[in-house]
Chain A
Amino acid sequence: MLKQIEGSRAVAECVAMCRPNVISAYPITPQTHIVEDLAMIVGQGKLDAEFINVESEFAAASVVLGASAAGARAYSATSSQGLLLMCEVIYCIAGMRLPIVLTCANRAISAPLSIWNDQQDSMAMRDAGWIQLHAEDNQEASDLHIQAFKIAEQTSLPVMVCMDGFILTHAYEPVDIPEPKQVDDFLPPFLPKNIVDPRSPKGIGLFADPRFYLETRYILHRAMEKSEETIKEVSADFAKTFGRNSGGFIKTYKLEDADLVIVSMGSVVGTIKELIDRMEEEGKKVGLVQICSYRPFPRHEIYNVLKDKMNIVVLEKSISLGRGGILASDVRWSFPRAEKKDRNISSFIAGLGGRNIPMDDLRYMVEKVEKEPVELEFLGLKNELISEKDL
């Protein structure tokens, strides 16, 4: 049913339809509305689940870890400092192959404190062994959660659904919320593979000496790579059941005869598409590659769709300080070395700490890379706020 609804509410309703048994979270802006809505849904008896109010995000992640290891479908949500506080547990959940689903309402990281959106928080967890799916809008954010449980449980890998804080979480948009019955048909009950159970006692979380550890990482890496198939299957299956495309690995827009391609992820792709349409009217051919699955990284897809494109610009809301664009280096790495020579892959950082990304800035970016490649540039930088002595 099409509803005019806040993004957080839409996500909460979709999560509830996935019937998690245990939910645990700790409040942090801009994640709060999602868990408040879920608390209400549980409180009103519309979802039969244990909702555990904990004393920290670290505990929230640990509670869902324990719940999942005991056979429950488990869910959490957080942002920014909360995700960073969870970090140790985040790695542990992946290493233990627990199919937990977590929403990251993307927000900047302190210091300085900022409650506003960028994607540095989920980026900080990119190496942990979690599948990371990025939503473009609230329809996709909602749909991705339904897919996430299925992907997680089929692959025994945790899934983080990333949605831009405020821009999506607090935006009212029309969202098609499925019927519970449709979700039940799409998502079978959770059949846990490896649980603590006195009827068949086994150890979970044993320590591995150097004879064994390396293989556990290899297996996890391969499982992450292999999850590509599952992500694609589940999104195809979703399209069949629900009648719309959501998620998947990558999506493209007006790519075919584009002279210049923007690569990005998250809600900013909406503005990018608008720019592309306008520029098309002006006779310029710009295309888009939108990354939906950031981990596993769609390296081969990117290569396949961009192998004939010589001018590429990566726009992202995160940075590896002292190195540069994170997504940009992932994209650069997607092309075999020999092919890179005359291909320009420019890197722009934008929107950090909630800085608006106006269409004009994007236009400036496109026009600049039309002329020359850009190693690294911060879009919309206010030079008057920067003094040489601080550098």
Chain B
Amino acid sequence: MEQSAEELNKIEKKDLFTSGHRACGGCGQALAARLVADASGENTIACVATGCLEVFSSPYPDPSWRIPFLHSLFENAAAVASGVEAAYKALNKGPVNIIAQGGDGSTADIGFQCMSGMFERGHNVLYVCYDNEAYMNTGVQRSSFTPLGARTSTTPMGNKTRKKNMPLLAADHGIPYVATATVDDFRDLQRKVKTALSIEGPKYIHILAPCPLGWGHHGELSVQICRLAKDTGIFPIYEIVDGKVTNVLKIPVKVPVEEYLKLQGRFKHLFKKGQPTPEVAEIQEIANQNIARFNL
């Protein structure tokens, strides 16, 4: 369905994901889930993976969802969504927006296979990943999205590996639309959801969703941390349409990664008496590579 630029850029507030849920204050994922639901509209089915979002939003008998909500397991949201879509096709129902959603762990680790299968089969499903860079629901353990240096409860000395690059892996399935977004820019995030839903086939949106509890920052700083993630080059913002990278968000003034790292307790050990350890330079190198790769 074609939408005018005006419609695409409108911020939607429909309260389809209501307040009163049990997320921590300043939870990026709670905000993101609301923005996604409101951008999708009433004619949407949410297939949600086990994780923080599911736990804080769907306790019986008072879930926060005012669109149909379907939860099965930690690692099968994409396959469940495939089944919902198949049912709609077989029963000649719809059209309907089907959105599979989950955290970084359910997306890139344990649920990777189901998601890859959904992409490869070409289901008309949008997959939204809420990336808070660890398994938060079970107490902040490392995932394959945990960035270099970050301390989690299973990497107490700091994570030794680099983050898996899921948006590019998604795009390499040959799906028509991939985008990244952060929760500080409502308009951009919702425009991407609306754009994705207007495209037939599998879509992937990767949203950086700060977690005050796991990242060790004050809830009020979630928005600022998102901006710094972009301005340092740590989290590039772009779309990939039919395999081509477009709409790259340019960084107005490049900021050193230290500014981003210093706000978060999980990186505290990277600074000894205020002085950065060598890992900080390595993280700066990752940001530089992103800047070069996407021409940020």
Residues of A within 8 A of B (CB): 21-22, 24, 48-50, 52-56, 58-59, 62-72, 74, 88-89, 92, 96, 196-198, 201-209, 212
Contacts and interface: CB of A to CB of B under 8 A. Distances in A.
A55 B90 contact: no
Contacts of A89: 72-73, 76
B80 A65 contact: yes
Contacts of A22: 83, 86-87, 90
Interface string B68-106: 111111011001111111111111010010000000000
Interface stretch (B40-48, B195-203, B259-267, B284-292): B40-48
B9 interface: no
Contacts of A48: 90
Contact of B70 (A63, A64, A69, A209): A69
Contact of B114 (A58, A70, A205, A207): A58
Given A52-B121, A55-B116, A198 B42 contact: yes
B52 to A, nearest CB: 12
Contacts of B86: 22, 24, 50, 52, 63, 66-67, 72
Contacts of B90: 21-22, 48-50, 67, 72
A320 to B, nearest CB: 26
Contacts of B91: 21, 70-72
Interface stretch (B53-61, B156-164, B226-234): B53-61
Contacts of A49: 90
A203 B65 contact: yes
A95 to B, nearest CB: 9
B54 A207 contact: yes
Top 3 A-B pairs, shortest CB-CB distance: A66-B83, A62-B79, A205-B71
B67 interface: yes
Contacts of A64: 83
Name which of B54, B73, B84, B96 has the most chain A CB atoms within 10 A of its CB.
B84
25 contacts: A21-B87, A24-B83, A50-B86, A52-B86, A54-B117, A55-B114, A59-B113, A65-B72, A65-B83, A66-B87, A67-B87, A70-B83, A70-B84, A88-B73, A196-B69, A201-B65, A203-B58, A203-B65, A205-B58, A206-B61, A206-B63, A207-B54, A207-B58, A207-B71, A209-B60
Given A54-B117, A89-B73, A206 B58 contact: yes
Which of the listed residues A52, A53, A63, A68 has the most CB atoms from chain B within 10 Å of its own CB? A63
B83 A63 contact: yes
Nearest to B71: A205
Contact of B82 (A66, A201, A203): A66
Contacts of A204: 68-71
Given A65-B72, A66-B85, A196-B69, 8 more contacts: A49-B90, A66-B47, A66-B83, A66-B87, A74-B83, A196-B68, A201-B69, A209-B59
Given A201-B66, A206-B59, A70 B42 contact: no
Nearest to A49: B90
Contacts of B80: 62-63, 65-66, 69
Contacts of A197: 68
A89 B74 CA distance: 10
Given A65-B83, A203-B58, A55 B73 contact: no
Nearest to A200: B68
A56 B113 contact: yes
B68 A71 contact: no
A201 to B, nearest CB: 5
A35 to B, nearest CB: 15
A58 B76 contact: yes
A325 B24 CA distance: 50
B91 to A, nearest CB: 6
Contact of A196 (B45, B61, B66, B73): B45
Contacts of B47: 66
Given A89-B73, A196-B69, A198-B45, A52 B60 contact: no
A380 to B, nearest CB: 40
Nearest to A54: B117
Contact of B68 (A21, A67, A92, A201): A201
Contacts of B75: 58
B121 A53 contact: yes
Nearest to A206: B60
B168 to A, nearest CB: 20
A59 B114 contact: yes
A6 to B, nearest CB: 27
Best-surrounded residue of B42, B73, B83, B85 (most CB of chain A within 10 A): B83
B72 A70 contact: no
A188 to B, nearest CB: 16
B93 to A, nearest CB: 8
A12 B43 CA distance: 36
B103 to A, nearest CB: 15
Interface in B110-158: 113-114, 116-117, 120-121
A202 B81 CA distance: 16
- Max chain B CB contacts within 10 Å: which of A56, A70, A72, A207? A70
Contacts of A96: 72
Nearest to A58: B76
A92 B77 CA distance: 13
Given A54-B117, A89-B76, A203-B69, A63 B82 contact: yes
Contact of A62 (B65, B88, B114, B120): B114
Nearest to A60: B79
A209 B71 CA distance: 15
A55 B117 contact: yes
B16 to A, nearest CB: 9
Interface string B161-200: 0000000000000000000000000000000000000000
Contacts of A56: 113, 117
A202 B50 CA distance: 18
